[in-house]
Structure 1
Amino acid sequence: MTPPTTTQTPPDAPETAPARTRALHARAPWHAAVTLVVLVCTALLARRHWPVIEAGAARLAGADPGWLLLGATAAASTWACSAVAQQGAVAEALPGGRLVAAQFAASAANHVLPAGVGAGAVNLRFLTRCGLSVPRSATALAVKATVGGVTRGALIAVLALAGPGLLRIPRVSVAVVVAALLATAALPLLWLSGSLRRAVRAVSADVRALHRLPGRAAALWGGSLAFSSLHALVVVAVTRSLGLPLPPERVALAYLAASSAAVLLPTPGGIGSLDAALALALKLAGVPGSAAASVVLGYRLLTVWLPLVPGLVVLGVLMRRKAL
């Protein structure tokens, strides 16, 4: 009996790469407009609260280097976890070294382009270079993203149930509640879209096929779970380096909730959206304003600014060697 694979194209999958390219180009102006609005709002907020940010930077300068080293190690390990999850999203064996390098390069590209477009483009190109068709590569990325969201939600649920009172929901206005209800009511209308139904069916078919391969399923779920956990560990390490007396599970829950909320705003690498959400979540967890700014700056230093230039160099090398 032949083992199931994900190389077979479902009948409802997109037929050609040009059609997908045209769809991406049609969405690009909207992504760019939303990104610009979010970044402008972030700049205005940063200007308004600049004294707090400046105090946070000064506090970070005196942080414990041992804890920062632990955070840097956890941040570097996320690329390996991302590679494991990506391997788990396809049945075919991918070249391990190039796969890890592609995740490192994708992380850098993701902080240059909005809404995960950079990481998606790098990984899509990598998978097609490995012999997968464009529709199957896109579906593999969707499977990985879906499982990543599910594991992050599961971590939030486990932490919230294990520590009652850790999750503090801020007060929201009536307008926000009404907007959320309207968005929920619109979901059935979106489901009527044929392209959305086809995409969901394609992802579901791949998930079922992958779960017939225990090794791939373990890599997909394990890598996704470790990826979110290690990012939370980076934030915990930064808070410890600053001497903040907060329970690690509360800090982890604050990060996971903030990162889930930041996904809704398509900024490059979550810059601006994740920063604001994480600062708010930390303040709700009991961190003072300047200390919360220090944590956000430390997290960004370890996950974005230090690896950005090396990641872009790796991206250039992979392109030069035609691995992308």
Structure 2
Amino acid sequence: MPAVFGGVDATGAAAVAVELTRTPRRLGPRRTRLRVLAAVGVVGIVGALVGTRFRSDVLGTLSDVPAPRWHWLVACLIASVLFYVAHGVSVRAASGLRMSLGTATASQLAAAAANRVVPAGLGAIAVHLRFLERRGMTRPAAVAAVASIKGAAILLHLAGIALVAGTLRGSGVGEAVTAPVRMTVNGIGAGPVAAGLAVVGAGVGTAVAHPRVRTRLRPALRGFRAHLGVLARSPWRTIVLVTSTAATKAAQVMGLACAVWSFESGLSIASITAVYLVGSAVAGAAPTAGSVGAIEPALAIGLTASGGTAATMFAAVLVFRLISYWLPILPGVTALAMMRRRGDL
């Protein structure tokens, strides 16, 4: 779940292009389950070691945090469920395929499970492509459908930041959220960072300009443009796609808001929305699966800058991530295995 530009960045775009030239591989549910369980086990072991090492410090810091109010936690869980349902609606609208909402939602849970293992959203992209191809779409059309969802998410995310820009002025939220990025760049040095970006850009540009790559991509790009043209000539599908994608963003914001309000009700929905949109955009640059390790401090720092108590906001973010990100792993693995047995993956 988070979401968060949905893992769409230069790395994700390059991976989608590479996917056009590859032969689809069958996804083994047993291997996927083992990988997910192994990842969960490693995270659990590391968490236990860190918790044991810093147990006294953590308990001292969290001793003043009030107990969460359970009705808000239930609301956070409902918002997380609605996120996957809305995502399923967007898949149906983008693809134009006839499928039940349950099947579309199950595909999103399966993609989320894969996304917990593979960084930068590539696991979800691979599952989406495989699912749409198994439903009868060609590879270029499937890529176009996924790209339309991701593109709508990016545009809506930017529009959301523009709408809450007034909330950011003078609040310190933007500065607090982006401070870790600035500190990292300053620590590495502007020169090395610019050189690294130049190398990545040159590598991507060289690969795209290669005649063999262009020859293999040309038919796929024609199909890609054709599918986007069909989508553009279908106003109803476009409206449903944009609305459902906006609903995924709203569900994520409401999930965070409910987690925050379960501990402390002083923050407004406008401030929480601003923190989520800016924090998730900044954390989206992290090369980890689901921006783990980047989005948590970004959200906690932003909420604290908005007026929340540091320890309380940290606890609220952890609860939000537990419900929206880690809890769907088990139903996601189940959906992955079920869809594999039915031939949907």
What TM-score bracket applies, with the shorter chain setting the length?
0.7 to 0.9
Equivalent position SS for 2:136: coil
- Following the alignment from structure 1 to structure 2, what is the Cα–Cα distance between the partners of residues 227 and 266? 22
Q: Is the 8 A contact 2:143 2:224 kept in 1?
A: no
Aligned-residue CA RMSD (Å): 3.5
What is the letter of the counterpart of residue 302 of structure 2? A
- Residue 156 of structure 2 is matched in structure 1 by 151
- Residue 111 of structure 1 is matched in structure 2 by 116
- Residue 287 of structure 1 is matched in structure 2 by 308
- Following the alignment from structure 2 to structure 1, what is the Cα–Cα distance between the partners of residues 280 and 96? 29
- 1:140 is aligned to 2:161: no
TM-score (norm 1): 0.76
- 1:125 is aligned to 2:130: yes
- Residue 222 of structure 1 is matched in structure 2 by 243
Q: Is the 8 A contact 1:115 1:269 kept in 2?
A: yes
Equivalent position SS for 2:327: helix
- Residue 28 of structure 2 is matched in structure 1 by none
- Residue 297 of structure 2 is matched in structure 1 by 276
- 1:169 is aligned to 2:175: yes
TM-score (norm 2): 0.71
What is the letter of the counterpart of residue 168 of structure 1? G
Deviations 1:103-130 (A, max 9, x none): 1222222223222122222212211110
Shift of 1:57: 6.4
What is the letter of the counterpart of residue 141 of structure 1? V
What is the letter of the counterpart of residue 76 of structure 2? G
Equivalent residues, number:
293
1:255 corresponds to which of 266, 276, 283: 276
Shift of 1:255: 1.2
Change (3 A) 1:239 1:124: same
Q: Which moved more, 1:200-209 or 1:94-103?
A: 200-209
Change (3 A) 1:52 1:209: farther
Change (3 A) 1:310 1:70: same
- Following the alignment from structure 1 to structure 2, what is the Cα–Cα distance between the partners of residues 180 and 139? 32
- Following the alignment from structure 2 to structure 1, what is the Cα–Cα distance between the partners of residues 221 and 267? 40
Deviations 1:238-289 (A, max 9, x none): 1111024112211111111111122212212222122232223223323333
Q: Which moved more, 1:293-302 or 1:105-114?
A: 105-114
Q: Is the 8 A contact 1:56 1:293 kept in 2?
A: no
Deviations 1:78-97 (A, max 9, x none): 00111111122223333432
Shift of 1:134: 2.1
What is the letter of the counterpart of residue 323 of structure 1? D
- Following the alignment from structure 2 to structure 1, what is the Cα–Cα distance between the partners of residues 335 and 20? 32
Change (3 A) 1:212 1:177: farther
Shift of 1:180: 7.1
Provide structure 1 residue ranges, at least 5 long, that are not aligned to the other structure.
1-11, 22-34
- Residue 212 of structure 1 is matched in structure 2 by 233
Report 1:51-90 matches (<5 A). 54=59, 62-90=67-95
Shift of 1:207: 3.7
- Following the alignment from structure 2 to structure 1, what is the Cα–Cα distance between the partners of residues 170 and 115? 34
- Residue 12 of structure 2 is matched in structure 1 by none
Deviations 1:61-85 (A, max 9, x none): 7101111111111011000111111
Q: Work out the percentage of aligned pairs sharing the same amino acid.
A: 26
- Following the alignment from structure 1 to structure 2, what is the Cα–Cα distance between the partners of residues 319 and 57? 43
Change (3 A) 1:52 1:206: farther
Q: Which moved more, 1:246-255 or 1:73-82?
A: 246-255
- Following the alignment from structure 1 to structure 2, what is the Cα–Cα distance between the partners of residues 257 and 49? 30
- Following the alignment from structure 2 to structure 1, what is the Cα–Cα distance between the partners of residues 64 and 326? 18
